[in-house]
């Protein structure tokens, strides 16, 4: 039987919460361990479902993986396997990040086309084009992407869009390629910088990470390393919006506020009081939020992963909000569940217009992806009675101890097993 969350509305969230390592970083760092023979150790890893899923992928490639709390140790053999297990890979999108390391290290990679969240198509065209510029041949066959290369050489590569996944796969392929690679219009996310920091500690020669132009000079060999995963800015941003939506007061630790500059500024514009520290921030809201417009963009723009939280706060804000989604075309399916909660929202292409009301109405809602699930829980805290959130396994993939943290902050929420509704 699947789990569900029973959420009672009306609580004001108050207290302190510390975020763990970033989901969008740890999985890519685990994949990067394939680049060096020996044992790589990652610390500050989040205890989420996707980490053991990536463990299964790496074990299928011949690695030994040990997870002990927030520490993950990966021992990579001298010659990894190059076929990523179909059953493991298809369960989550991040598994495609083994494509670059396997192509670089083994000269061959076969990775099943990945699954994951239902937020729209995320084709591998730019991944393939980048690898082909480096000298690989690629094709899609029998539900898998295949890359082969006898010798990778540096190249000038320009991405049509600053794709995080394509940037990661090109980086991890180029670090062992002959010569210099210059990647233009690269993704600038903090998770990209974290990956480059780890690769450099392994012996890679990289410059420009965090900017739109990254230069990689290939080296002959990399060494295993130990690396601490950066804090999860999306989880931290979720807690920030939880404070504002419940007219609460939450201090968040374990995260650089620079990684959330625009989302925190949006909360200030909505009426929240904000204090920032070197490794955290505090959000306090004493009145109903004011409506603020949003548009999602690659970093340093407003993160698409916080779009459900933007819709959630807009649904109970004073005024009308226009939210524009520029990254994933299907992320607005979350709006259908918000309508169940009584939100006044209308989708028009890649825009949604939300007219705020003082309180939502409780009901049954269903998570379609990690962030939508978290957004539904926060919105349920703003409803009149008790809401049941289904398919919460999505939330468990990205939020460690989500229920326990909410309870400590004052929410009335419990995890139960689902019963037949009809």
What is the tens place of the pLDDT at every residue in 183-218? 999 999 999 999 999 999 999 999 999 999 999 999
**Other CB atoms closer than 10 Å to residue 254's CB: what's the count?**
17
Catalytic one of 3, 50, 87, 117: 117
Give the integer Cα–Cα distance in Å for 63 and 4. Answer: 34
Give the integer Cα–Cα distance in Å for 247 and 269. Answer: 15
Same domain assignment for residues 272 and 303: yes
Q: Is 327 assigned to a binding site?
A: yes
pLDDT at 320 over 80: yes
Is 85 one of the annotated active-site residues of the chain?
Answer: no
Same domain assignment for residues 12 and 77: no
What is the tens place of the pLDDT at every residue in 95-116? 789 999 999 999 999 988 765 4
Same domain assignment for residues 362 and 256: yes
For residue 422, tell me if it sits in a domain: no
Separation in Å, CA 174 to CA 17, 130, 167, 182 = 38, 10, 10, 9
Q: Is 205 assigned to a binding site?
A: no
Q: Which residue has the tokens 């050489």?
A: 153
For residue 255, tell me if it sits in a domain: yes
- Eight-class DSSP state of 306: G
Q: Domain boundary residue among 174, 199, 228?
A: 228
| Domain extent for 188 | 23-228
Side-chain half-sphere exposure of 260, counting CA atoms within 13 A: 34
CB 355 within 8 A of CB 372: no
Give the integer Cα–Cα distance in Å for 73 and 75. Answer: 7
pLDDT at 89 over 70: no
Same domain assignment for residues 210 and 120: yes
What is the tens place of the pLDDT at every residue in 386-422? 999 999 999 999 999 999 999 999 999 999 998 765 4
Same domain assignment for residues 195 and 314: no
Residue 102: both structure tokens together: 């396997």
Q: Is 258 assigned to a binding site?
A: no
Same domain assignment for residues 218 and 266: no
Whole-number average pLDDT of the chain: 93
Task: Please state whether 210 falls in left (phi above 0), alpha (psi between -120 and 50) or beta.
Answer: left
Q: Is 156 assigned to a binding site?
A: no
- Eight-class DSSP state of 317: S
**DSSP states of 107-129 as a string?**
SEEEEEPP---SS-----HHHHH
Roughly how many angstroms between the first and final C-alpha of the chain, as a whole number? 15
For residue 36, tell me if it sits in a domain: yes
Same domain assignment for residues 235 and 100: no
Give the total number of structural domains in the chain: 2
pTM over 0.75: yes
Same domain assignment for residues 187 and 281: no
Give the integer Cα–Cα distance in Å for 290 and 277. Answer: 25
Same domain assignment for residues 52 and 14: no
Q: Domain boundary residue among 193, 228, 263?
A: 228
Domain of 330, CATH number, reads 3.65.10.10
Same domain assignment for residues 246 and 168: no
Q: Domain boundary residue among 184, 209, 228?
A: 228
Give the integer Cα–Cα distance in Å for 388 and 390. Answer: 6
Same domain assignment for residues 72 and 191: yes
Same domain assignment for residues 282 and 224: no
| Residue from 199, 207, 202, 154 nearest 180 by CA | 154
Q: Is 24 assigned to a binding site?
A: yes
């Amino acid at each position: 039987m699947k789990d569900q969350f029973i959420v009672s509305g009306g609580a004001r969230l108050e207290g302190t919460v510390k975020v763990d390592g970033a989901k969008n970083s740890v999985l890519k760092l685990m994949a990067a361990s394939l680049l060096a023979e020996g044992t790589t150790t990652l610390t500050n890893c989040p205890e989420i479902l996707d980490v053991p899923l990536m463990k299964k992928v790496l074990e299928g490639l011949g690695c030994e993986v040990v997870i002990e709390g927030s520490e993950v140790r990966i021992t990579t053999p001298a010659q990894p396997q190059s076929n990523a297990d179909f059953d493991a890979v298809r369960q989550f999108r991040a598994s495609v990040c083994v494509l670059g390391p396997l192509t670089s290290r083994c000269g061959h990679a076969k990775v099943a086309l990945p699954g994951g969240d239902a937020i729209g198509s995320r084709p591998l065209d730019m991944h393939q084009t980048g690898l082909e510029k480096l000298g690989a041949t690629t094709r899609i066959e029998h539900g898998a992407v295949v890359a082969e290369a006898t010798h990778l050489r540096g190249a000038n590569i320009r991405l049509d869009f600053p794709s995080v996944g394509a940037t990661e796969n090109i980086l991890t392929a180029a670090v062992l390629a002959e010569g210099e690679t210059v990647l233009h219009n690269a993704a600038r996310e903090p998770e990209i910088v974290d990956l480059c920091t780890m690769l450099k500690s392994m012996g890679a020669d990289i410059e420009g990470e965090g900017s739109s132009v990254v230069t990689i000079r290939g080296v002959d060999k990399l060494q295993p390393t130990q690396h601490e995963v950066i804090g999860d800015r999306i989880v931290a941003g979720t807690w920030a919006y939880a404070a504002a939506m419940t007219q609460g007061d939450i201090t968040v630790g374990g995260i650089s506020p620079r990684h959330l500059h625009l989302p925190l500024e949006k909360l200030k514009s909505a009426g929240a009081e904000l204090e920032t520290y070197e490794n955290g921030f505090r959000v306090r809201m004493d009145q109903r939020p004011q409506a603020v417009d949003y548009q999602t963009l690659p970093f340093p723009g407003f993160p698409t992963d916080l779009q459900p939280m933007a819709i959630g706060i807009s649904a109970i804000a004073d005024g009308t909000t226009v939210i524009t989604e520029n990254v994933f075309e299907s992320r607005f399916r979350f709006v259908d569940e918000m309508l169940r909660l009584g939100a006044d929202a209308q989708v028009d292409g890649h825009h949604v217009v939300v007219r705020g009301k003082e309180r939502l109405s409780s009901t049954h809602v269903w998570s379609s992806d990690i962030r939508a699930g978290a957004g539904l829980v926060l919105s349920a805290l703003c409803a009149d009675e008790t809401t049941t959130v289904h398919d919460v396994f999505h939330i468990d993939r990205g939020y460690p101890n989500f229920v326990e943290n909410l309870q400590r902050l004052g929410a009335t929420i419990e995890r139960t097993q689902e019963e037949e509704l009809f």
